[in-house]
Amino acid sequence: MFSGYDFDVIQRSLPYLFRDGMTFTVTLTLLAMTGGIVFGTLLAMMRLSSFAPFSLVAGSYVNLMRSLPLVLVIFWFFFLVPYIGGWIVGAPRPIAVGAFWSAVITFTMFEAAYYCEIMRAGIQSIPRGQVAAGQALGLNYWQTMGHVILPQAFRNMLPVLLTQTIILFQDTSLVYVISATDFLGAAAKIANRDYRLVEMYTFVAAVYFVISFALSALVKRLQSRMAIVQ
């Protein structure tokens, strides 16, 4: 099975795969995670708001994103962002947005819907009495949320948020459809140039496996430690 396997092509392309490809993947994952959790938490607060228009808008947004395939959303934003950008700066034609920033915006907006549902469950896991206690102490809405509810909700949901981030890390490989050079994209370019598909794709699968497996083992440990604390 390994008789015609060319380990050399992997070794030669390591710098390109990791310096260009993996840097793209990791940066995209971290930016989208940060943006997604912030935006997702705001969406969760809107969804739980007693002001009907807020919960309606947030609810529709989350349901829309969760009903669409990520690939379709990537295409939408890839073509939409240049138009919206042009509209914001008042340019007469769509502005050029690189694949990277297009991907960052797409994944932030898409994952926010999933982070929102997690944060919503987190906020709802806090007893309502704590909101009342905050109000009785004279805290306003933002103070109650920022100092009392969200820190606990965030802690309770940390394992699920991290698991979602591992999924996000794997999903970033879909930027392949807009020809971005992420880890998979870099490998695909070499695979096609040198006609070394077997080597490159098995290597990519192994690297994704090792990283995701290690991260999910960490999350599992975190989860069991938290179970003791609770």
Partner 1 sequence: MRYNWDWSIYFQRASDGSGTWLHYLFVGLAWTLATALAAWVIALVVGSIVGTLRTTPSKWIVRLGNAYVEIFRNIPLLVQMFLWFFVLPELLPKGLGDAVKQIPPPWGSYLPAVLSLGIYTSVRVAEQVRAGIQSLPRGQRMAGTALGLTLPQNYRFVLLPMAFRIILPPLTSEFLNIIKNSSVALTIGLLELTGRARAMQEFSFKVFEAFAAATVIYLVTNMIVVVLMRALERRVRVPGFIGTTAKAPQAGH
The yes or no reply on residue 177 touching partner 1 (CB under 8 A) is yes
Distance CA 101, CA 107 (A): 10
Say how many C-beta atoms besides its own lie within 10 A of residue 9's C-beta: 17
Q: Which of residues 46-85 bind partner 1 (CB under 8 A)?
A: 64, 67-72, 75-76, 79-80, 83
CB-wise, 61 or 83, nearer to partner 1? 83
Question: Which ranges of 68-196 does DSSP label H, i.e. alpha helix?
Answer: 70-89, 99-124, 128-136, 141-143, 150-171, 183-194
Q: Are 161 and 118 in contact (CB under 8 A)?
A: yes
Binding map of partner 1 across residues 111-130, x = CB under 8 A, - = no contact:
---x--xx--xx--------
Is residue 1 at the binding interface for partner 1, with CB under 8 A as the rule? Answer: yes
198 counts as binding partner 1 under rule CB under 8 A: yes
Site string for partner 1, 136-175 (x = CB under 8 A): ---------------------x--xx-xx-xx--xx-xx-
Nearest distance in Å: CB 51, partner 1: 24
- Asked if 48 contacts 123 with a C-beta cutoff of 8 angstroms, the reply is yes
For 203, the token pair is 């290597």
Query: Would you give the distance in Å from CA 115 to the centre of its chain?
Result: 8
Shortest distance (Å) from residue 126 CB to partner 1: 14
- Residues 228 and 205: their CA atoms lie apart, in Å, by 35
What is the size of the binding site for partner 1 (CB under 8 A)? Answer: 52
What is the C-alpha separation between 129 and 51, in angstroms, rounded? 20
Select from 137, 197, 222, 226 the one that contacts partner 1 (CB under 8 A).
197
Residue bearing tokens 């920033």: 101
In the complex, minimum distance from the CB of residue 143 to partner 1, in angstroms, rounded to a whole number: 26
Q: Using CB under 8 A, which of 14, 127, 209, 226 touches partner 1? A: 209
Cβ neighbours of residue 103 under 8 Å, at least 6 residues apart?
28, 32, 74, 172, 175, 178, 180
Binding site for partner 1 (CB under 8 A): 1, 64, 67-72, 75-76, 79-80, 83, 86-87, 90-94, 114, 117-118, 121-122, 157, 160-161, 163-164, 166-167, 170-171, 173-174, 176-177, 184, 188, 191, 197-198, 201-202, 204-205, 208-209, 212-213, 216
